[in-house]
């Protein structure tokens, strides 16, 4: 995955190095952080575009995010696409969770899945929640899943 900032600037070095530098910088500035990870997708004809974000929330001081986009040409049902979004978020969360633990930063994984049964994404809710919680991560779904439903939604 290639990562960039919202302004388009690519992250230098690995994701792990960039996250660690960010945690150190923010701590030195006196900011307490929470990290939320989410993925959203959009279907454009035969292409599915996925956007994954790592949102760094500063306690009472706003936030910022790292962004990664990927495309798939594989056909998927809505449930499969929702679970693929969750899998992408978990992959990122798993890759940085030890680092976040070392710096005592809370982590949430957000799923762009509606808790209202009238929505098409809802059938994936139970599996997504089980997947995220079984990996040991805090779980949020719509309407509380802003990392996926707002932040990632803006970059796909």
**pLDDT confidence of residue 153:** 93
Sequence spans of domains, the chain: 4-155
- Angular region, 147: left φ>0, alpha ψ -120 to 50, beta rest: alpha
Number of neighbours of residue 135 by Cβ within 10 angstroms: 14
Cβ(42)–Cβ(156) below 8 Å: yes
pLDDT at 3 (0 to 100): 97
pLDDT tens for residues 89-113? 999 999 999 999 999 999 999 999 8
**CB of 50 within 8 A of CB of 72?**
yes
Q: What pLDDT, on the 0 to 100 scale, is given for residue 102?
A: 97
Per-position pLDDT tens, the chain of length 156? 899 999 999 999 999 999 999 999 999 999 999 999 999 999 999 999 999 999 999 999 999 999 999 999 999 998 999 999 999 999 999 999 999 999 999 999 999 988 888 888 888 888 899 999 999 999 999 889 999 999 999 999
Instruction: State how far the Cα of 119 lies from the Cα of 2, in Å rounded to an integer.
Output: 32
Domain 4-155 falls in which CATH fold?
Nucleotidyltransferase; domain 5 (3.30.420)
For the entire predicted model, the pTM comes to: 0.93
């Amino acid at each position: 995955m290639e990562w960039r900032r919202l302004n388009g600037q690519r992250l230098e070095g690995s994701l792990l190095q960039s996250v660690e530098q960010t945690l150190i910088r923010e701590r030195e500035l006196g900011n307490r952080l929470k990290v939320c990870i989410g993925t959203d997708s959009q279907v454009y004809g035969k292409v599915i575009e996925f956007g994954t974000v790592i949102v760094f929330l500063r306690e009472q001081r706003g936030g910022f995010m790292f962004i990664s986009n990927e495309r798939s040409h594989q056909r998927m049902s809505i449930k499969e696409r929702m679970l693929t979004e969750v899998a992408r978020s978990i992959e990122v969360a798993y890759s940085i969770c030890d680092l976040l633990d070392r710096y005592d930063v809370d982590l949430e994984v957000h799923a762009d899945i509606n808790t209202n049964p009238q929505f098409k994404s809802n059938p994936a809710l139970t599996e997504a929640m089980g997947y995220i919680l079984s990996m040991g991560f805090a779980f949020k779904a719509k309407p509380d899943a802003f990392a996926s439903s707002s932040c990632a939604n803006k970059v796909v």
